[in-house]
C-alpha cells in the first residue's frame, strides 16, 4: 500500500514551519562598524594616534545599517603603561543606539601615564574593532 501526500498538506506544513521559524525570534542584523578611529575632539575631524598626558581621548565609531536597538560598547585598556598591569581595563562605556557617528570619550583628572593604550569596540556583544593609540 502506497501513501500519497496531498499538495495542500505540503503547503500547510511549509507555512507552519515558516511561522515557527519567525516565532523563534531569529535576529539577522546588517549593523556594521564601517570605521573607528581616535580623534582630538568629539567631532572626529582630526584623527590621531598619540595624545599628550593631559588630553581627552575620543574614539569615534561610524556605525552603519543599525537599528536603534544596536548595542555598542567601548572598553578602554592600558596595554603597556607605566604604573598599570599589562592590558588593564581602565574604563567601559556602553549604550544602545542606531546608525551614525558615535563618540566615546575618556578623561582623567590627573595626567595619563605614558605608554600604549587601546579601545576595543564591541558590536552586539562581539568584539568588532580595536583602535590603538599612545600617550607620549
Report residue 6's pLDDT band, with 50, 70 and 90 as the boundaries: low
Q: Nearest 5°: phi and psi at 125?
A: 70, 15
CB-based contact 108:76 (threshold 8 Å): no
CB-based contact 113:84 (threshold 8 Å): yes
Question: What is the distance between the alpha carbons of residues 85 and 96, in angstroms, rounded to a whole number?
Answer: 30
Share of the chain above pLDDT 90, in %: 79
Report residue 17's pLDDT band, with 50, 70 and 90 as the boundaries: very low
Question: What is the distance between the alpha carbons of residues 44 and 41, in angstroms, rounded to a whole number?
Answer: 6
In a domain, residue 51? The reply is yes
CB-based contact 31:67 (threshold 8 Å): yes
At 37, which CATH number? Answer: 2.60.40.1930
In a domain, residue 105? The reply is yes
CA dihedral (46, 47, 50, 56) positive or negative? positive
pLDDT for residue 70 is more than 80? yes
What average pLDDT does the chain have? 87
User: Which pLDDT belongs to residue 29?
Assistant: 72
Residue 78 to residues 51, 59, 71, 105, 111: CA-CA distances in angstroms? 14, 15, 23, 15, 14
- 3 state SS of 97: strand
Which residues have a Cβ under 8 Å from the Cβ of 95 and sit 6 or more positions away? Answer: 71, 72, 73
In a domain, residue 23? The reply is no
User: Which pLDDT belongs to residue 43?
Assistant: 94
Structurally, how many domains does the chain consist of?
A: 1
Domain limits for position 60: 32-135
What is the residue whose three cell numbers read 544602545?
A: 96
More confident residue, 1 or 103: 103
Question: What is the distance between the alpha carbons of residues 15 and 11, in angstroms, rounded to a whole number?
Answer: 6
pLDDT digits (tens, 9 = 90+) for 20-68: 444 444 445 799 999 999 999 999 999 999 999 999 999 999 999 999 9
pLDDT digits (tens, 9 = 90+) for 72-83: 999 999 999 999
Amino acid at each position: 500500500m502506497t501513501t500519497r501526500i496531498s499538495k495542500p498538506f505540503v503547503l500547510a506544513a511549509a507555512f507552519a514551519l515558516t511561522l515557527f521559524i519567525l516565532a523563534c525570534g531569529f535576529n539577522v542584523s546588517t549593523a556594521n562598524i564601517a570605521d573607528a578611529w581616535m580623534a582630538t575632539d568629539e567631532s572626529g575631524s582630526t584623527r590621531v594616534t598619540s595624545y599628550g598626558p593631559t588630553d581627552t581621548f575620543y574614539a569615534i565609531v561610524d556605525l552603519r545599517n543599525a537599528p536603534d536597538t544596536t548595542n555598542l560598547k567601548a572598553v578602554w585598556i592600558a596595554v603597556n603603561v607605566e604604573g598599570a598591569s599589562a592590558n588593564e581595563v581602565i574604563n567601559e562605556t556602553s549604550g544602545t543606539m542606531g546608525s551614525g557617528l558615535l563618540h566615546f570619550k575618556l578623561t582623567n583628572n590627573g595626567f595619563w601615564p605614558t605608554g600604549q593604550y587601546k579601545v576595543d569596540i564591541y558590536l552586539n556583544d562581539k568584539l568588532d574593532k580595536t583602535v590603538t593609540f599612545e600617550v607620549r
